[in-house]
């Protein structure tokens, strides 16, 4: 029998990860057709040409949208703000709850044993937060410690894990749930604006949940770092226009990510006597084809090391914060040998960069 003292010699670990997407799959070809149909007369020829070019790029094949059927897609155009927040609430709750149930089942954890719930999102604001809806939908205990994190952008899953792991520290029987959910289409806008054109061509909806515990099984949460560069805040953020969120992505963002992220990754690896070739498994936020390419080059990653990142981008697009959970789920579904290292790298609004070093 394992004692409490034995359990506490271990760092917190990720026991299981589960992800969920909405039922409506949209191919890039279908997206191109719909956007052309509804905006051909509203966009300048140059904007349309760039939109077609991005949607035709092979780096993304399909995305998933939080509507019940493809027939509902036209409703996103000029969606009433009140209807939009209702859709956000409905789908954020449904996807989060399903991801929670799947992750608990994979970890073989009873709901009554979950003492901490952390939920992050940046694509909608409701009060009370999504956490309370998840507590109700999943039947979690009423005395759970529940926290809602907003505004972390695409990098939000890693700070979420940081908080969840910290909150069960010192509790040998503690179990936490980290939930990242984004309904990116709840921020859908279109205009002759490159940020919006790019966003509408690469973002999708989804949710992921991770079970964190202090037992000896799972991916050990070895070390983590977060870095903030507010001087680049205007390069990646949401801004409000007429009371609605509009995504803002500067054209220099891939270069900034390439200049900033590799050195920070090498710093945390070097603190443990590691280098990039020592890390077999990588979960790098796939912000888009250019960002994946520049990080692959600057970090010196092999095709095998970047394979899962590329695969998730192709199959789901950029889902903002939960995307790294989709990568982690694929890693855990494959062959992970004891002692192998994994590195999660997420970045987004702020400009912020978050890294977690894990070991099997």
Same domain, 180 and 238: no
- In this predicted model, what pLDDT tens digit does every residue of 233-257 receive, in sequence order? 998 899 889 888 899 999 999 999 9
Residue 318 lies in a domain: yes
Whether 229 shows a pLDDT value over 50: the answer reads yes
Same domain, 225 and 284: yes
Average pLDDT over residues 302-321: 97
Residue 1 lies in a domain: no
Q: Note whether 29 and 37 are within 8 A (CB).
A: no
Same domain, 234 and 298: yes
* Residue 119 pLDDT: 98
* Residue 235 pLDDT: 87
C-alpha–C-alpha distance, residues 6 and 313, integer Å: 40
Same domain, 304 and 228: yes
* Percent of residues, the chain, with pLDDT higher than 90: 91
- In this predicted model, what pLDDT tens digit does every residue of 156-177 receive, in sequence order? 999 999 999 999 998 888 999 9
Annotate 247-261 with DSSP letters as a single string. Answer: EEE-TTHHHHHHHHH
Whether 6 shows a pLDDT value over 50: the answer reads no
Same domain, 108 and 207: yes
* Residue 10 pLDDT: 62
- Mean pLDDT in the chain? 95
Average pLDDT over residues 87-101: 98
The last residue of a domain, from among 173, 189, 213: 213
Residue 125 lies in a domain: yes
The last residue of a domain, from among 168, 191, 213: 213
Q: Give the predicted TM-score (pTM) of the model.
A: 0.95
Same domain, 20 and 47: yes
Average pLDDT over residues 194-203: 95
Average pLDDT over residues 45-60: 96
Alpha helices in the chain (DSSP H): 4-8, 28-39, 45-56, 81-107, 130-138, 157-167, 194-202, 253-270, 289-299, 307-316, 323-333
Average pLDDT over residues 89-102: 98
DSSP 359: E
Domain that holds residue 106: 8-213
The last residue of a domain, from among 166, 190, 213: 213
Query: Which residues on adjacent β-strands are paired with residue 176?
Result: 116, 212
- Inter-CA distances, 14 with 96, 112, 210, 298, 358, Å: 17, 18, 7, 28, 9
* Residue 1 pLDDT: 41
10 Å Cβ neighbour count for 13? 21
Complete edge-to-edge strand list for the sheet that includes strand 13-20? 145-150, 116-121, 175-182, 206-213, 13-20, 219-228, 352-359, 341-348, 281-284
Whether 44 shows a pLDDT value over 80: the answer reads yes
Same domain, 252 and 279: yes
Same domain, 101 and 225: no
Residue 337 lies in a domain: yes
Whether 67 shows a pLDDT value over 90: the answer reads yes
* Residue 244 pLDDT: 87
Same domain, 256 and 179: no
Same domain, 224 and 348: yes
Same domain, 188 and 224: no
Average pLDDT over residues 114-130: 97
Residue 289 lies in a domain: yes
* Residue 360 pLDDT: 93
- Inter-CA distances, 210 with 6, 14, 102, 115, 218, Å: 23, 7, 10, 14, 11
- Inter-CA distances, 157 with 50, 140, 148, 189, Å: 30, 21, 12, 24
CATH code of the domain containing 234? 3.40.47.10
Whether 27 shows a pLDDT value over 50: the answer reads yes
Average pLDDT over residues 220-244: 93
Average pLDDT over residues 294-311: 97
Residue 2 lies in a domain: no
Same domain, 239 and 146: no
* Residue 112 pLDDT: 96
Residue 20 lies in a domain: yes
C-alpha–C-alpha distance, residues 123 and 245, integer Å: 8
């Amino acid at each position: 029998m394992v004692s409490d003292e034995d359990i506490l010699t271990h760092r917190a670990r990720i026991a299981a990860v589960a992800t969920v997407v909405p039922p409506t799959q949209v191919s890039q070809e279908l997206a191109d057709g719909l956007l052309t149909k509804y905006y051909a007369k509203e966009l300048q020829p140059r904007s349309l040409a760039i939109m077609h070019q991005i949607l035709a790029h092979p780096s993304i094949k399909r995305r998933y949208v939080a509507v019940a059927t493809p027939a509902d897609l036209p409703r996103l155009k000029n969606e009433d703000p009140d209807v939009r927040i209702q859709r956000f609430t409905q789908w954020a709750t449904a996807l989060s709850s399903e991801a929670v149930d799947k992750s608990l089942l994979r970890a073989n954890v009873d709901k009554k044993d979950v003492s901490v719930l952390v939920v992050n999102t940046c694509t909608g604001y409701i009060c009370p937060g999504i956490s309370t809806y998840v507590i109700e939908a999943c039947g979690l205990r009423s005395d759970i410690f529940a926290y809602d994190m907003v505004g972390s952008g695409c990098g939000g899953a890693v700070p979420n894990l940081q908080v969840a792991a910290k909150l069960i520290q010192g509790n040998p029987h503690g179990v936490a749930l980290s939930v990242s959910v984004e309904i990116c289409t709840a921020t859908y806008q279109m205009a002759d604006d490159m940020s919006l054109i790019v966003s509408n061509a690469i973002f999708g909806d989804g949710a992921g949940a991770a079970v964190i515990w202090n037992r000896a099984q799972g991916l050990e949460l070895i070390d983590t770092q977060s870095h903030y560069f507010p001087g680049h805040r205007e390069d990646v953020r949401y801004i409000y226009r007429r009371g609605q969120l509009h995504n803002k992505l500067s054209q220099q963002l891939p270069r900034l990510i390439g200049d900033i992220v590799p050195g920070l990754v090498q710093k945390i690896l070097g603190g443990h006597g590691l280098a990039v070739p020592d890390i077999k498994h990588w979960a790098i936020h796939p912000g888009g084809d250019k960002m994946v390419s520049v990080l692959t080059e600057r970090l010196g990653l092999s095709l095998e090391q970047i394979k899962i990142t590329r695969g998730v981008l192709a199959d789901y697009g950029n889902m903002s914060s939960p995307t790294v959970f989709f990568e982690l789920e694929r890693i855990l579904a494959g062959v992970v040998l004891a002692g192998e290292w994994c590195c999660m790298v997420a970045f987004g609004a702020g400009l912020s960069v978050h890294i977690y070093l894990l070991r099997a």
